[in-house]
Every structure is written in structure tokens, then in C-alpha cells.
Amino acid sequence: MTWTITDIAVDPGCELSISRPAEDGYIIIASIEAETGMGFAEDVNLRGGFHPENNWSIADADGYMDTRPTSEASRYCIDAEWPSEMVPASKYRFRVAFESPTPSGVLQYRASNWANGWEWQFG
């Protein structure tokens, strides 16, 4: 599997009519493009998938970690676009929303069965 974050927007404005104001900071929306190979198996290669409540964390501007960077506001900001199941040899384009206490920091992703992960600065 290969994937990249193509954009990280800070407080871009929510799209859903049921959206709520941020509870404790700023809404962060990451745009992602991903492609799975022929041998991809989600339960082995990407346990927990891209759901915003799995595998993601945010280090705020002071370095403090939020290991579950979601809120009611981030859940109801944009449609739930991340793939709930990924299959081999497929391409995906989607966004994931979070809430951060600061407008700048580091978005991190590490699946539960991985030793390493990725980091992207935002803000």
C-alpha cells in the first residue's frame, strides 16, 4: 500500500448542516490519496484503517500528545469519507477530520501492528 497526505487544512469551515463549533480548539482536515497493491490485506497491512479514532494522534505546538484527536465537532464537520474497508488493487481519495487544541502541530499516523509511522506538520 502507498499513500500520501495531499493537504492539511486548519479550520477550513465545516460542510455539514449538523456541524458544531470546535469544542477545544481547531478543526484539522487531512486530504489523503491511497493505493493498495494486489497482495493487500487490510487486517494484516493496515489494522484499524484510516478511521480518525484509530491509529492517529496529534502533537500540539507544545509537544503534548492527543492520542484520540477527535470530538463531536470533528465527527460532524465533513462526511465520513474514509474507506471502511479497503480491497486489493484499488485507489482511494478521501478526507479525515480531527480537532487540535492549537492551530499548529504534528499529525501522526501509526497502525497498531507497525513499529514506525508517519508525521506531517500543519499550521
pLDDT tens digits for range 17-27? 999 999 889 99
pLDDT tens digits for range 34-60? 999 999 987 777 878 899 999 999 998
With contact defined as beta carbons under 8 Å apart, do 53 and 70 qualify?
Answer: yes
Domain boundaries defined on the chain: 2-122
Domain over 2-122 is classified CATH 1.10.8: no
With contact defined as beta carbons under 8 Å apart, do 18 and 76 qualify?
Answer: yes
Angle, CA of 54, 39 and 110, to the nearest 5°? 25
Contacts with 43 (C-beta within 8 Å, 6 or more apart), sequence order: none
The model's pTM: 0.92
With contact defined as beta carbons under 8 Å apart, do 52 and 21 qualify?
Answer: no
Q: Which three cell numbers stand for residue 15?
A: 460542510
